[in-house]
Structure 1
Amino acid sequence: MTGVRKAELHCHIEGAASPALVMAQAQKYGADVSGFISGDRYVWSDFTEFLTAYDGAAALFRTPQDYALLAQTYLEGIAAENAIYAEIFVSPDHASAAGLTPESYFDGLAQGIEAAKASTGIECRMIVVGIRHFGAEKVEAAAGLAASRPHPLITGFGMAGEERFGRVAEFARAFDIARDAGLGITIHAGELAGPDSVRDALDHVRPSRIGHGVRAIEDEALVKRIAEEGVVLEVCPGSNLALGLYPDMARHPFDRMRRAGVKVTLSSDDPPHFGSSIGREYEMAAEAWGYDAAQLTAITRTSLEAAFVDAPTRAFLLGQLD
């Protein structure tokens, strides 16, 4: 299925750093990464250790040039798998931890995005995320920053982090701020937390998209509601399998939700941490459920129709599927 055009809506840019790139950064800064990288793999055994590995890798991107390299490397890599569009989650809190201003962080990422577009033609946009377990005040600050439109490639707002922290209602104001500014709205829900987290997201945030959302399958009425409301799910099967939600693809709910009328898309989340990529996600779906090129392209079409882009860009991207 290498010839199928692909699109990715759910990828954390710091989590897209390959072990090879992180080891090169570690050499540059004289850092030790042996605690979370072994050979060419990230090493972790549970979600807490995964976050440690994620933060350890992210800490090695410290300048706008580092972030330009990260974005360009990731985007050129997925373009080689025939991806034509991607959205990356970007975190002002990670920028602050690295000692960067949000503006220099966004500018560095944008340089990498433009370089990848020049070399491959791939389009990319940024979604600012607040980190849920940092608390409502921090998430509102991220929303306010996104709403100020500090860079033209920022087109959406979302919330990531530990979804079992707090209640969705506590973060509703942040999403109101972003929505009022005309930003696309997405929120992580229904992965490590159950269907109630998805229902709360729908009730309190009114997102057009939900990151993951797969645990909704445990509530038939909720699946029906998602389908009826047309909310798009950014599904990341490789992540779900790596974190132990499902034992294998055959038992992953992606296909059941698709058949129930839910708008589902494929993404890779934190690809090297989960041994995946956008190309691998499409391959796994084809292998598990026998999807042909037309069915996989339909998934890409759903992604592009749900993308946080202007109408001319969307039309241009959709035209590449014909």
Structure 2
Amino acid sequence: MRDLRALPKAHLHLHLTGSMRPDTLAEWAARDGLRLPEPLPPDRVHGWADFQGRYDLARAVIRSAGDVVRVVREAATADAADGAGWLELQVDPTSYAARLGSLEDVVAAVLAGAAEAPIPVGVVVAASWGATAEHAERLARLAAATPGVIGFGLSNDERLGRVGDFVAACRLAADAGLRIVPHAGFYEPAAHVRDCVELLGAHRVGHAVTAASCPETLGLLAGRQVAVELCPTSYPPLGVAWDLSALLDAGVPVALGTDDPLLFGVGLAGQYQIARDLGCDDATLARLARDSITHSAAPAEVRGGLLAGVDAWWAGAGPDE
């Protein structure tokens, strides 16, 4: 059976705090006398507040630019071990700015970590769905003005905001050549995904799991080749239904991601293993890897090398060899 860690891939859906290694979290919590977040109990479905509270506790241990650099470096090292040759790391600098100095200082620290990473890293600056339109536009201008930033996203619980409030911010970012990568369709219905594509000009959509039951939305995503960033371990703990086969059967590009491995406990290769366990054969797994690469913001030479690696992986020894 082909080794999933040897399958070249790009990682397009990972958040800064959620990428932290558990031992790093424990080390810093002890350093600062902070309480460690408890794991999400596996025996029940959780609400968003359960997840967000644990995320906030973990985020509190990040106290300096040096901490950020280490988180980025360690996250990229883990992804490299799982076969990633390109990482896009998302950060909303708002929550870190008070400790690091400014929004600009936070993004600079993430970029400094990217410079030390073993694989190339592109940075996505995100606003919260709960942010004001004005704050989102400020972050979009920061993203547009910062070399090394490749995308602008909207993260957090999509129920906190209205799509129309973020049109101007996304237009600012898109005019600067950035990828528009909002989270959508996690809790909100498929119409939310369509609005993000049609109003915000989304190039990719994070999660978009509610699109799977809507032929109109699947057709839109497939027709425009808007990729869905699907994170298999994010959905069962929060009681969210997801359907990989519906997306693939409709011709929607899918890039598997980890979202927040600190809290959900599974790395990038593990997400591909889940897809294999659900019945995806190696040809489909290679398709998922190609989708992640072709829908990334990686430079052409990086994409070309990774795609050649996928072809070599597929041409290699199969299950019976």
TM over 0.5: yes
Which letter does structure 2 place at the counterpart of 1:282?
Y
User: 1:10 is matched with which residue: 7, 13, 37?
Assistant: 13
Counterpart for residue 292 of structure 2: 303
Cα drift, residue 43 of structure 1: 5.8
1:164 partner SS = helix
2:160 partner SS = coil
2:171 partner SS = helix
Cα drift, residue 199 of structure 1: 1.5
User: 1:19 is matched with which residue: 19, 22, 25?
Assistant: 22
Which letter does structure 1 place at the counterpart of 2:35?
D
1:98 partner SS = helix
Counterpart for residue 270 of structure 1: 260
2:187 partner SS = coil
Which letter does structure 2 place at the counterpart of 1:16?
S
Task: Note the alpha carbon deviations across 1:103-137, whole angstroms, 9 max, x for none.
Answer: 332332233323222xxxx2211000011112222
Could you list the runs of 4 or more consecutive aligned residues of structure 1 that deviate by over 6 angstroms after TM superposition?
none
Which letter does structure 2 place at the counterpart of 1:243?
L
> If the length of structure 2 is used for normalisation, what is the TM-score?
0.89
Contact 1:43-1:53 at 8 Å conserved across structures:
no
Counterpart for residue 74 of structure 1: 75
Cα drift, residue 157 of structure 1: 0.6
Aligned residues: 305
Q: State the structure with bigger RCO (CA 8 A, min sep 6), 1 or 2.
A: 2
CA RMSD in angstroms comes to 1.8
Counterpart for residue 86 of structure 1: 87
Trace 1:170-189 onto structure 2 (pairs within 5 A): 170-189=165-184
Contact 1:19-1:42 at 8 Å conserved across structures:
no
Counterpart for residue 106 of structure 1: 107
Counterpart for residue 32 of structure 1: 35
> If the length of structure 1 is used for normalisation, what is the TM-score?
0.89
Task: Tell me the distance in 1 between the aligned counterparts of 2:204 and 2:271.
Answer: 19
User: Aligned in 2, Cα 1:196/1:255: closer, same or farther, shift over 3 Å?
Assistant: same
Trace 1:1-322 onto structure 2 (pairs within 5 A): 1-33=4-36, 36-37=37-38, 41=39, 45-117=46-118, 122-149=119-146, 152-246=147-241, 252-292=242-282, 294-322=283-311
User: Aligned in 2, Cα 1:266/1:176: closer, same or farther, shift over 3 Å?
Assistant: same
2:180 partner SS = strand
Task: Tell me the distance in 2 between the aligned counterparts of 1:102 and 1:167.
Answer: 23
Cα drift, residue 42 of structure 1: 5.2
1:170 partner SS = helix
Cα drift, residue 313 of structure 1: 3.1
Task: Tell me the distance in 1 between the aligned counterparts of 2:95 and 2:41.
Answer: 21
Cα drift, residue 287 of structure 1: 0.9
Which letter does structure 1 place at the counterpart of 2:161?
G
Counterpart for residue 249 of structure 1: none
Task: Tell me the distance in 2 between the aligned counterparts of 1:136 and 1:289.
Answer: 43
1:126 partner SS = strand
Contact 2:131-2:161 at 8 Å conserved across structures:
no
Task: Tell me the distance in 1 between the aligned counterparts of 2:133 and 2:41.
Answer: 31
Task: Tell me the distance in 2 between the aligned counterparts of 1:100 and 1:314.
Answer: 35
- Extract unaligned runs of 5+ from structure 1: 247-251
Identity among equivalent positions (%) equals 30
Task: Tell me the distance in 2 between the aligned counterparts of 1:24 and 1:214.
Answer: 35
Contact 1:62-1:100 at 8 Å conserved across structures:
no
Task: Tell me the distance in 2 between the aligned counterparts of 1:239 and 1:94.
Answer: 22
- Extract unaligned runs of 5+ from structure 2: 312-321
